[in-house]
């Protein structure tokens, strides 16, 4: 039977309205209506989550697929998602599950309690649980309860997110949240407003809060032709990562392929991705990776140039990082968590 659970982080307003304080939309919802995500509903002046324990995906992935290249490399992450999203990205790669509540007006999936998720992750010999594929902020109550049990079981928790949340949920989640990958979709507010239905600044704020709270952070940018691929914008992304988050923050540059409502745009030229990587390295970023392109994506020592971790796709071919997390050639520490 589907669990009806009262939401966390909302306030009751006059006239039976509520204000959801989970993500940066801060939806004011009247009785009988849902928020922008379509999975949080006001019933009689009480806000409920409609997707608690309601998974649309349960899957074992390499942690590199998240992508997290500097967090227990080579380990497995038990990945879960519920339907829905608080964004409307026109190029969404997972639109069939993230936008299903908008496009088809119903919620589907399989019931799985937090206890069942943790047990399944342990049975699959996973090192972590990843809240991913759709936007985990919209199923925060479910992720939070699962994450607490995961930590008790010795598992790490990973948040693969668009970063559109308010600071309070990160402070609440911080004791149980070990790593995150934030999707920085553009560095122009007008792009966020036009193609995503959101704003840029809350995403930047989220990443700075994550760094301050000690959550391991990696950043991904899907580079889309004519949308966010000009050099000026890429330099702005890199400057933000280098100066606000730190040069040790890995930046993943991902290749766009036509999807959802943007099937008329060609895939990103590989030369554009290579140039973006050059821009990142020129600005001092130590770990820049190209994704969605066949071939190796290696971690290299920023001091001596030694290849430390060789990857083919998401598979690790060789890991030469020492158990103490240092380069075997020059002794330079490699940023990350349990790299060796």
SS3 299: strand
b (16+ CB within 10 A) / e for 245-259: bebbbbbbbbbbbeb
The pTM score is: 0.96
Q: Where are the alpha helices (DSSP H) in the chain?
A: 95-98, 100-103, 114-123, 140-152, 167-173, 189-191, 201-213, 231-240, 270-282
For the residues of 250-296, what is the DSSP string, one character each?
A: -EEEEE---BTTBTTSPPPPHHHHHHHHHHHHHTT-S-EEEESSSSB
pLDDT score at 219: 98
Give the separation between CA 264 and CA 271, rounded to whole angstroms. Answer: 20
pLDDT (tens, 9 = 90+) of the chain, 340 residues, equals: 456 899 999 999 999 999 999 999 999 999 999 999 999 999 999 999 999 999 999 999 999 999 999 999 999 999 999 988 999 999 998 777 777 665 455 566 789 999 999 999 999 999 999 999 999 999 999 999 999 999 999 999 999 999 999 999 999 999 999 999 999 999 999 999 999 999 999 999 999 999 999 999 999 999 999 999 999 999 999 999 999 999 999 999 999 999 999 999 999 999 999 999 999 999 999 999 999 999 999 999 999 999 999 999 999 999 999 999 999 999 999 999 999 9
pLDDT score at 94: 79
pLDDT score at 1: 46
pLDDT score at 100: 65
Q: What is the dihedral of CA 68, 70, 72, 74, to 10 degrees?
A: 70
SS3 15: helix
Residues 110/10, Cβ–Cβ less than 8 Å = no
pLDDT score at 180: 98
Domains belonging to the chain, first-starting first, are 5-49 (no CATH), 54-293 (3.20.20.70), 298-340 (no CATH)
Residues 233/191, Cβ–Cβ less than 8 Å = no
């Amino acid at each position: 039977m589907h669990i009806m659970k009262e939401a966390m982080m909302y306030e009751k307003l006059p006239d039976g309205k509520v204000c959801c304080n989970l993500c940066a939309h801060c939806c004011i919802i009247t009785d009988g209506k849902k928020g922008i995500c379509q999975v949080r509903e006001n019933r009689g002046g009480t806000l409920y989550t409609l997707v608690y324990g309601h998974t649309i995906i349960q899957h074992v992935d390499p942690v590199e697929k998240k992508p997290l290249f500097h967090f227990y490399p080579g380990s497995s992450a038990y990945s879960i998602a519920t339907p829905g999203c608080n964004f409307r990205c026109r190029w969404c790669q997972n639109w069939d599950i993230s936008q299903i509540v908008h496009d088809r007006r119903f919620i589907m999936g399989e019931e799985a309690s937090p206890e069942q998720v943790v047990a399944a992750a342990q049975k699959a010999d996973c090192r972590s649980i990843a809240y991913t594929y759709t936007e985990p902020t919209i199923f925060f109550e479910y992720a939070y309860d699962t994450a607490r049990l995961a930590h008790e079981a010795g598992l790490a928790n990973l948040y693969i997110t668009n970063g559109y949340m308010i600071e309070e949920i990160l402070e609440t989640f911080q004791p149980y949240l070990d790593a995150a990958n934030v999707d920085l979709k553009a560095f122009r507010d007008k792009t966020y407003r036009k193609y995503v239905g959101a704003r840029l600044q809350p995403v930047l704020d989220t990443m700075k809060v994550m760094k301050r709270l000690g959550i391991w952070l990696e950043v991904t940018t899907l580079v889309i032709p004519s949308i966010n691929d000009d050099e000026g914008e890429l330099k702005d992304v890199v400057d933000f990562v280098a100066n606000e988050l730190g040069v040790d923050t890995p930046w993943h540059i991902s290749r766009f392929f036509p999807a959802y409502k943007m099937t008329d745009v060609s895939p990103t030229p590989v030369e554009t991705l290579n140039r973006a990587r050059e821009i990142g390295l020129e600005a001092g970023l130590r770990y820049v990776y190209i994704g969605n392109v066949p071939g190796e994506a290696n971690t290299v020592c920023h001091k001596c140039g030694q290849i430390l971790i060789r990857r083919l796709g998401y598979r690790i071919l060789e890991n030469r990082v020492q158990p103490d997390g240092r380069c075997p050639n020059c002794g330079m520490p490699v940023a990350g968590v349990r790299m060796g």
